[in-house]
Amino acid sequence: MNETTQLVPFREAFYRRERRSVPLARQFVREALLDWACEVDLDGVLLCVSELATNALVHGVPPGRGFRLQVTWGSVLRIEVHDSGDGEIRKPAPVPEAEGGRGLVLVGALADAWGVGERDPGKTVWCEFAASARRFAGSAPREHYLP
């Protein structure tokens, strides 16, 4: 590694297609942000994690499979949900009387940016947030880093 390489905190987890995966994903992200002393709108980030994880479970994860959640904090905080389903993401346009259909509208309102990327098989839905670091005493926690 040379002097210009910047270390980027990174965490990843895999969740099965089951209801309890959504709160587990929220807890995973919460712990990462607290460990990293990341200053961000925690409630907004966790709501976006809930929406992306729920969408993956409902629309993107075939039976017997799961989704991968990645959290990266470099110049921005980035949340990615990878699924193997063939579902397509449509531009959010919720129907006022409908019970659902507002998840990506919320993500779009809370995140600084969001989008969809292709993968084979499936897709990656991501969102990003501006975030800064709090100063904290002691050494930084042990972490996985991406170069």
What is the residue extent of each domain of the chain?
A: 8-137
Q: Write phi, then psi, for 106 (nearest 5 degrees).
A: -65, -45
DSSP per residue, 63-82: TT-EEEEEEEESSSEEEEEE
Q: What number is the average pLDDT over the span 76-99? A: 77
pLDDT in tens, 39-49: 999 999 999 99
Tokens standing for residue 77: 């905080």
Choose which CATH entry (3.90.1150.10, 2.60.40.10, 3.30.565.10, 3.40.1640.10) describes domain 8-137: 3.30.565.10
- pLDDT average, residue stretch 78-101: 74
Partnered with residue 123 across adjacent β-strands are: 83, 118
Predicted confidence at residue 124, as pLDDT, reads: 94
pLDDT digits (tens, 9 = 90+) for 115-137: 999 888 889 999 999 988 764 44
pLDDT of residue 137: 40
| Strand extents, DSSP E, the chain | 8-16, 38-39, 66-73, 77-83, 113-118, 123-129, 132-133, 144-146
For residue 127, which of 142, 139, 117, 140 has the smallest C-alpha distance? 117
Instruction: Tell whether the torsion through CA atoms of 6, 41, 61 and 23 is positive or negative.
Output: positive
Per-residue model confidence as pLDDT tens digits over 3-32: 555 678 999 999 999 989 999 999 999 999
DSSP state of 101: -
